[in-house]
Chains A and B, each alone.
Chain A
């Protein structure tokens, strides 16, 4: 259990007669948000009372949260053809066209979903959509080598 999550019963708020007038009463479990980005946290080892009320978490953000893994097609940028018009940057729904000093610098594959809008919008064929598996060294599964699934006995 992480140190910032005490699981102390009734850790907050008023208690009995000492309550300030009109004070919001306390609740019978921890309200300290949990940092779900903490890769060392072992939630499986936590007790029920260790979880914050309603499982509220420390506010995350979409920069830290890598979502590019959904992609099946990836845009590949040809810097020689690019005229830096930034139409792709304007249209990208995931802010995944990286830009510096008004010049395109590349593609943020951690967040690009492979929707292909950038390639459609590009007037100079500088963006090419390619199957994701062609962009990796790992071998593609050989369907013929897979065992056959049979029904029944």
Chain B
């Protein structure tokens, strides 16, 4: 019987814990990510600039130009080519990264499925931004939700620190799960605001991610492989897709294990969901990304007033940590799910749909309210969040249905 526990799958982190040094810096989220890229020193970065991720590739280009990394930096003429080149570099056997946002991620759509279908361990940062039209360069999750079903592991950062940590975690998750990983951070709020955070020393990061040795590659001269074969008629295609489903399901404990290993190195926990005040909470908000801090601030204030409220932030979005989320909200009398992206025509926002499925699977039947907030970078004011908890209090007391018929737009009448 082969051991398939996460530790066996992931392997141990080869970090000398006694030599770990962290320094506290103030920087934008994008520069935190660029710093992680520099420390990981991938074999290839194939990228095209797009607001609000541009400063990541700009800063990394400086590292390349100044000889601080060994990376082959491939400039391309579009995101379609960026992902194509990244796929080529990964299939050839390199540790290949890219970065994108919004329309760029949309332009990559067909390659996203090829990257995951070929099971290439690519890491791509996405700076979450609205999708046209109308044109808008600010932060929401519309772009990520367009890539939601493409077979990528998706990690959602709340702040610059998480964006940095997730980039390092993603590198090992991708290679252990043999799946592409998309760590994301919210456009402008996280990418461009200067935040305080800790950066580990180069040797620690290099030891943690280790040397990448691909299982197979186009350029392995002794036994090269063919990549992108035709899955003929009959069940072959469906079997390969089932293997992909099994792989992304199996990646959830891998993400947890790598997150736990990184936590043991730098002392910051990684959980698929992060709960605040939920233990005794009647009213719980579920949210992802930068606005989680706003909700936490409101929860703190309301709890000081004696209200039993809490918030659950989802960090691992794909694969969806349904059991973790259901456990976190199991005591709630009413739940609000705040989505920063539309799923036009769906019964609720995308995160709300996932939450509903998680609750159903756990046999939890409480009223859920789906909200849309912060589209195109619209402000997530604290009084709006307070309004959500006030709404939830009414819902918990008066019922009025298990789910609102269409998502409520927060702050918009």
Task: Give the residue name and chain of the B residue nearest to A35 (CB).
Answer: B226
Within 8 A of A (CB), among B243-260: 243, 246-247, 250
- Enumerate B203-231 residues with CB–CB distance to A below 8 Å: 207, 210-216, 218, 223-227, 229, 231
A10 touching B207, Cβ below 8 Å: no
Those of B113-153 within 8 Å (CB) of chain A? 117-120
Are the C-beta atoms of A29 and B247 separated by less than 8 Å?
A: yes
B296 at the binding interface (Cβ < 8 Å) = no
A10-B4, A43-B236, A48-B242 given; A56·B211 CB < 8 A: no
Instruction: Give 18 A-B pairs besides A12-B215, A16-B3, A22-B207 with Cβ atoms closer than 8 angstroms.
Output: A10-B2, A15-B11, A16-B8, A17-B12, A19-B14, A23-B211, A26-B11, A31-B215, A43-B232, A44-B234, A48-B240, A48-B242, A56-B226, A57-B229, A58-B223, A58-B226, A59-B226, A60-B226
Number of B residues, CB within 8 Å of A? 47
CB-nearest residue of chain A to B210 = A22
Residues 383-403 of B contacting A (Cβ, < 8 Å):
none
Residues of chain B lying within 8 A (CB to CB) of residue A9: 2, 4
Residue A2 at the B interface, CB < 8 A?
A: no
How distant is B278 from chain A, measured CB to nearest CB, in Å?
Answer: 32
Q: Which of B10, B119, B213, B226 has the most CB of A within 10 A?
A: B226
Complex contact A11–B240 (CB within 8 A): no
Q: Is B243's CB under 8 angstroms from A49's CB?
A: yes
Q: Which residues of A contact B215 (CB under 8 A)?
A: 12-13, 27, 31, 53
Q: Which of B8, B223, B232, B234 contacts A26 (CB 8 A)?
A: B8
Stretch at the interface among B171-179, B268-276, B324-332, B350-358: B171-179
- Do A54 and B119 touch (CB < 8 A)? yes
Whether A25 contacts B120 by the Cβ 8 Å rule is no
Name, among B8, B207, B218, B231, the residue most crowded by chain A CB atoms within 10 Å (CB to CB): B8
A56: B residues at CB distance < 8 A: 118, 216, 225-227, 229
Flag whether A28 is at the interface (Cβ < 8 A).
Answer: yes
The reply to whether A24 and B212 form a contact with Cβ atoms under 8 Å apart is: yes
Whether A24 and B213, one on each chain, are in contact in the complex, defined by CB atoms closer than 8 angstroms, is: yes
Bound Cα distance from A10 to B215, whole angstroms: 12
- In the bound complex, residues from chain B placing their C-beta under 8 Å from that of A20 are 14
Q: Specify which chain A residues have a CB less than 8 angstroms from the CB of B210 in the assembled complex.
A: 21-24
B68 lies within 8 A of chain A by Cβ: no
A13 x B226 contact (CB < 8 A): no
Q: Which residue of B lies closest to A22 (CB)?
A: B210
Determine whether the beta carbon of B235 is less than 8 Å from that of A44.
yes
- Interface residues of chain B, those whose CB is within 8 Å of chain A, are 2-5, 7-12, 14, 117-120, 172, 175-178, 207, 210-216, 218, 223-227, 229, 231-232, 234-236, 239-240, 242-243, 246-247, 250
Q: Bound state CA distance, A63 and B223, in angstroms?
A: 18
Cβ-closest chain B residue relative to A47: B239
| A30 → B minimal CB distance (Å) | 10
**B12/A31 in contact, CB under 8 A:** no
Residues of B within 8 A of A52 (CB): 216
Q: Which residue of B lies closest to A25 (CB)?
A: B11
Choose among A23, A46, A54 the residue that contacts B11 (Cβ–Cβ < 8 A): A23
For A13, A51, A54, which residue has the most chain B Cβ atoms within 10 angstroms?
Answer: A54
Question: CA separation between A57 and B3, bound complex, in Å?
Answer: 26
18 cross-chain CB contacts under 8 A: A9-B4, A21-B210, A22-B14, A24-B210, A24-B212, A25-B9, A25-B11, A29-B243, A29-B247, A33-B223, A48-B240, A48-B246, A51-B236, A51-B243, A53-B119, A53-B247, A54-B118, A54-B178
Q: Beyond A23-B210, A28-B247, A48-B242, is A15–B178 a contact (Cβ under 8 Å)? A: no
Residue among B9, B120, B175, B178 facing the most chain A CB atoms (10 A cut-off): B9
Cβ–Cβ contact B243 & A28, under 8 A: no
Query: Which residues of chain A are within 8 angstroms of B223 by Cβ–Cβ distance?
Result: 33, 58-59
Shortest B38–chain A CB gap in Å is: 18
Min CB gap A27→B, angstroms = 5
Selected contact of A44 from candidates B5, B11, B172, B236, CB within 8 Å: B236
For B239, the chain A residues whose CB sits under 8 A away are 46-48, 51
